[in-house]
Amino acid sequence: MTGRLCIFLTAVLVGCALSVVSAQYRARSLFIELERAQTAARQLDVDWAQLQLDQSTLGKNARIEELARRDLGMVPLTAARTQYLTVGAK
């Protein structure tokens, strides 16, 4: 009887040991995945800050006006160049 009990306890012990090894492996895998996700989140934060900086730089009125003058050949509107249309006039 003690021989069977010893074999049973040994099998339970081996099962528990395998369960511990499996749990440690899973915990390490999850930790590595967590580290990768945190690294990706930090990179996304850096990218977001850069995009906000770019948006504020590209949206400034002075830059838009300079591009319109240089690339599109636009000039500021003056009263001498303004044409007014009236309803019913020919």
pLDDT, mean over the chain: 90
DSSP 60: -
pLDDT 10s digits, 32-66: 999 999 999 999 999 999 999 988 887 788 888 88
54, part of any domain? yes
Q: Residue 41 in contact with residue 35, Cβ under 8 Å?
A: no
Residue 87 lies in a domain: no
Residue 81 domain flag:
no
Q: How many domains does the chain have?
A: 1
Token reading at 64: 């838009």
Confidence of residue 89 (pLDDT cuts 50, 70, 90): low
- In a domain, residue 89? The reply is no
Q: What is the mean pLDDT of residues 8-37?
A: 97
The parent domain of residue 22 ranges over 2-75
Quick count: other Cβ atoms within 10 Å of Cβ 68? 13
pLDDT at 32: 98
Average pLDDT of 74-85?
Answer: 83
What is the rounded CA–CA span in Å between residue 4 and residue 63?
87
Q: Is residue 86 in some structural domain?
A: no
**57 neighbors 63 (Cβ within 8 angstroms):** yes
Total-model pTM = 0.56
Which range (8-12, 41-45, 51-55, 83-87) has the least confidence?
83-87
